Amino acid sequence: MAGKFEIKQSTNGKFHFNLKAGNGQIILSSEMYETRSAAENGIESVKKNSADATRFEIRTSAKGDPYFVLKAGNGQEIGRSEMYSSDAACNNGIGSVGENAPDAEIVDTTQA
- Whole-model pTM: value is 0.92
User: In CATH, what number is assigned to the domain containing residue 63?
Assistant: 2.30.29.80
pLDDT tens, residue order, the chain (112 aa)? 689 999 999 999 999 999 999 899 999 999 999 999 999 999 999 999 999 999 999 999 999 999 999 999 999 999 999 999 999 999 999 999 999 999 999 998 886 5
21, 26, 106, 7: CA torsion to nearest 10: 170
Domain count, the chain: 1
Q: Quote the domain boundaries for residue 25.
A: 4-111
